[in-house]
Amino acid sequence: MAAVQQFGCYGDRLRSRIVSRGDLSKCSHNNHSNHTNSNDVCTSCHQRIRPNNDDAFQATLEKLFPDAYELEDFVFQTKQTLVPKDFYPHVNTLVCVGLCRDEITSPFEEEIEAMWGQGFICGCLGGMLFCGNTGFAAAHHHAPDDGRFIYYCFTHIAIDHEGCVGSVYRTRSGMSGKTTACGALAAFTSEIASGKLDLTFDESDMEMSMLRKHILKKTSLSSDAHNAPDLFQVTMAAYETITIDLELYAKHDAEHFPDRRYALFTGVQIHGPNGKDYCWLGKASLLSGGVLSPLSLSS
């Protein structure tokens, strides 16, 4: 049997979370290699295990997203950074999560909520923040006037074991072939390249219509088929758009509630081989007293 990567799978992460709540006895499975069958399928999460030839993946990850964190480590380090700044889970802090609707982003949401408690969900296709003034006002009414808010707002992309950008296996839903992530951003990328980009608003496809127009309005992304961006460039434009929008909404609330503090994290969630997720932190900021300042994570 081919060697497999040595890290906990989705089934392990879910099981460990259940175990931590006292619902099961301690699980003895620590990684995929401990529970695979003769067909190289994980008996816990039922994902097909890809060979441990991840040099191409690692090279692409380091080239495109230098200093990316493993997902669990990133969320833990944000907590280590914020607790000394008076952000306390279940006491004075509301966490707001802005991720793409894609189900493969769920491990990120689970890690965040395991650390901070239930979150206010504000993400749409591609991780865009289309909940608007009403959505952000709703979130900001769910904490006291001197409360704390943490925003994790990330777009996403996949890199498979061959280093192919945008490629991911979704074997949990029974699919055996490669699919794309982010599907919405990949479709947008293809539309630009084909020269058939349609920027009219479609009420039957509102989020996608808004995604196209909003990213092009907020960034310098080319919509010219002769200078078409690739998926990585479109993903980075989505990250830039999300960052601009998040800071705008947070600053607007801070004008009315000067005693509040806001921690803002934006970047890209990366789906790697065998269900392993990573996180590239593009920008971290602390908004306090109406002043936005850089925030460095504790090591």
192-235 pLDDT per residue, tens: 999 999 999 999 999 999 999 999 999 999 999 999 999 999 99
Q: Report the pLDDT averaged over residues 172-183.
A: 82
Please check the confidence at residue 47 and state whether its pLDDT lies above 70: no
The predicted structure's pLDDT at residue 29: 33
Using one digit for the tens of pLDDT, what is the confidence trace for 239-254? Answer: 999 999 999 999 999 9
Closest-CA residue to 218 (of 200, 183, 242): 242
Pairing status of strand 277-288 against strand 178-180: unpaired
- Token pair recorded at residue 63: 């080239």
Which pLDDT score, from 0 to 100, does residue 14 have? 37
Residue 39 has what pLDDT?
52
Percent of the chain with pLDDT over 90: 67
**pLDDT tens column, 255-299:** 989 899 999 999 999 999 988 999 999 999 999 998 999 999 986
Instruction: Quote the pLDDT of residue 268.
Output: 98
Contact status, residue 86 vs residue 148, Cβ threshold 8 Å? yes
Reply yes or no on whether the pLDDT at 26 is more than 70: no
pLDDT band, residue 1 (cuts 50/70/90): very low
Q: Kindly report the backbone phi and psi dihedral angles of residue 156, in degrees, each rounded to the nearest multiple of 5, phi listed first.
A: -150, 165
Q: At what angle do helices 106-116 and 71-82 cross, to 10 degrees?
A: 30
Residue 53 has what pLDDT?
Answer: 64
Average pLDDT over residues 53-59: 88
Model pLDDT, residue 133: 83
Q: What percent of the chain has pLDDT over 70?
A: 81
How many C-beta atoms surround the C-beta of residue 178 within 10 A?
14
Per-residue confidence band for 142, with pLDDT thresholds at 50, 70 and 90: confident
Mean pLDDT within 146-162: 95
State the DSSP string of 199-268: -S--GGGHHHHHHHHHHHHHS-----GGG---HHHHHHHHHHHHHHHHHHHHHHHHHH-TT-EEEEEEEE
In 3D, which of 184, 188, 167 has the Cα closest to residue 125? 184
Cα–Cα dist 128/99, whole Å: 8
Domain ranges of the chain: 68-294
Longest dimension (CA), the chain: 61
Contact 216, 223 (CB under 8 A): yes
Q: Which CATH architecture does the domain made up of 68-294 adopt?
A: 3-Layer(aba) Sandwich (3.40)
> What is the average per-residue pLDDT within 80-108?
95
Distance (Å, rounded) from C-alpha 73 to C-alpha 57? 19
Whole-number pLDDT of residue 161: 92
Contact 173, 123 (CB under 8 A): no
Structure tokens at 217: 């309005």
Residue 50 has pLDDT above 80, yes or no: no
Give the per-residue pLDDT at 45: 53
